[in-house]
Amino acid sequence: MTHDQLHQRLRAALGETAVLTDPDDVAPYTSDWTGAFTGTASAVVRPADTEGVAAAVRLCAEAGVGIVPQGGNTGLVGGGVPDGSGEQVVLSLGRMRRIRTVDPIADTITVEAGVPLQAVQEAATASDRLFPLSLGSEGSCTIGGTIATNAGGTAVLRYGMMRDLVLGLEVVLPDGRVWDGLRPLRKDNTGYDLKQLFIGSEGTLGIVTAAVLRLMPPTPRRATAFLALDSVDAATALLPVLRQHGGGQLTTYELLGRQALDLVLTHQPGSRDPFGEPHAWYALVEIAGSTDDVEARLEAALGEAVEADLVGDAVIAGGPAQRSALWRLREDISEAQKSEGVSIKHDVTLPIDDLARFVTEMRPRLEELLPGVRPVTYGHVGDGNLHYNLSAPVGDDAALRAAAADLTRAVYETVTALGGSISAEHGLGALKRAAAARYKSDVEVDLMRMVKQALDPTGLMNPGKVLPTAG
């Protein structure tokens, strides 16, 4: 079947407007958020419902054409965009935006894959519940994308990653069949937990079309502080103090290096340094709950921290406007780094105890490889997850590009030697699939290949992503 014939059949099945082939219409779907990955697509299909997704998958399978599922296209590893062959079809879930039900007894929400994360948070709030997953991209990223990448974010410390929040899934399989696993059950030991295979599989095993998600009690009282710290060691030593005083309500504990804050102050209009003088490190802390004691808990934790010399200075948010300004200092880092120019992203996890050692050992090693390179360090310190991004020496993007492979190898070798992971929450996509083969064991890579072979034997689901090339 030619691509023209496939387009005709897709149009006949899904309707004229659901299939885009004009280059101007297709272009927005073929570049990723970072700008590092740009491909070309045979077509973009935009089904309105699960049956439409299944029909599109069946037709692509008959034509032997690869399918790239796409949600909000905010992924950071090039997983949601096609390659440069022009042979692949992008399947966008953007029209599947229905919130199907909010169930106050089961304490769940059932939504379609294309619903933006923020819309799910808002629907939960409207029912006096909380959907706790929270990311800087929440206005644009979709539930399908957050499931496919097993997204993390700023509340993992308390609520876990997306995997921990999914109870049931509906998935269109690579042969076009629909697996209806949309069950709200909290207990279901009937063999393999199939939904877990699809969570974090980055569109390589099937297309998530809907999900049942857990809801949580709302946390209308929030106590938020921005702290100045001398070292990463102080940040890790502070974690048990915050946990102890937080009483199970410690929700957020984020770390920022001075370079990260500097980027935000430079590029984000209206941002302001909360302190009179610069410090080496900063942390954003939030304790959240339904009772008035959250502030007292935060103050008690900070009192002990100051006493133990762990905190140099602190600002506690006096109200919603100040809270939001402090949050922006953390959440605007990705945008600010993008405005600064080329950077190399490393999203890594380490045993929390080794975060300081990693940061101390990396700096001279990288400086030796590329004098003037600027590590911009921030992340979810409570999860041992650092975004260790490297900006170019001032005015020398070309030098960063030339040294990129060596710099990344140095970072990944150190992470691996310390027992960490080269992808904490962004996934492998196209960016890290080769590296994953180097740093995962042969047994692990083999198991991944067996799963892929079993579910997608013809390799049409998101080709060229996640799995390393054979050999």
Ligand X SMILES: Cc1cc2nc3c(=O)[nH]c(=O)nc-3n(C[C@H](O)[C@H](O)[C@H](O)COP(=O)(O)OP(=O)(O)OC[C@H]3O[C@@H](n4cnc5c(N)ncnc54)[C@H](O)[C@@H]3O)c2cc1C
- Helix (H) / strand (E) element for 281: namely strand 281-289
d(CA 1, CA 60): 10
Nearer to ligand X, 47 or 312 (CB): 47
**Which tokens belong to 11?**
């149009």
Taking CB atoms, the residue at the shortest distance from ligand X is: 145
Which is it for strands 89-92 and 67-70: parallel, antiparallel or unpaired? parallel
Supply the minimum distance, in Å, between the C-beta of residue 466 and ligand X: 8
Q: Which two tokens stand for residue 14?
A: 């899904």
What is the nearest approach in angstroms of ligand X to the Cβ of residue 140? 6
In whole angstroms, how close is the CB of 404 to ligand X at the nearest point? 20
Whose tokens are 């990653």? That residue is 161
Which H or E run includes 148? helix 143-148
Closest CB 468 distance from ligand X, rounded Å: 16
CB 41, min distance to ligand X, A: 13
**Distance between CA atoms of residues 390 and 373, nearest Å:** 7
What DSSP letter does each residue of 162-181 carry, written as one string? GGGGEEEEEEE-TTS-EEEE
- For ligand X, the closer of residues 114 and 246 by Cβ is 114
CA dist 154 and 224 (Å) reads 13
- Which lies closer to ligand X via its Cβ, residue 312 or residue 379? 379
Four-residue CA torsion sign, 163, 166, 172, 173: positive
> CB-wise, 133 or 390, nearer to ligand X?
133
The least distance separating ligand X from the CB of residue 303, rounded to whole angstroms, comes to: 30
Q: How far is the CB of 461 from ligand X (least distance, A)?
A: 8
Q: How far is CA 409 from CA 81, 238, 422, 432, 438, in A?
A: 25, 31, 10, 11, 10
* Spatial contact of 304 and 241, defined as CB atoms under 8 Å apart: yes
Q: Whose Cβ is closer to ligand X: residue 70's or residue 108's?
A: 70
- Torsion angle of alpha carbons 409, 414, 416, 417, nearest 10°? 140
Task: List the structure tokens of 260.
Answer: 């990260």
If the CB atoms of residues 245 and 380 are measured against ligand X, the closer one turns out to be: 380
Question: What is the rounded distance in angstroms from the CA atom of residue 308 to the CA atom of residue 299?
Answer: 14
Instruction: State which residue, 151 or 370, has the beta carbon closest to ligand X.
Output: 151
Question: Of 71 and 312, which has the nearer Cβ to ligand X?
Answer: 71
CA distance 92 to 31: 13
Q: Give min distance, CB of 280 to ligand X, in A.
A: 23
Q: Which stretches of the chain bind ligand X, using CB under 6 A?
A: 33, 68-76, 79-80, 93, 113, 135-137, 141-142, 144-146, 148-149, 151-153, 202-203, 207-208, 334, 425-426, 429, 462, 465
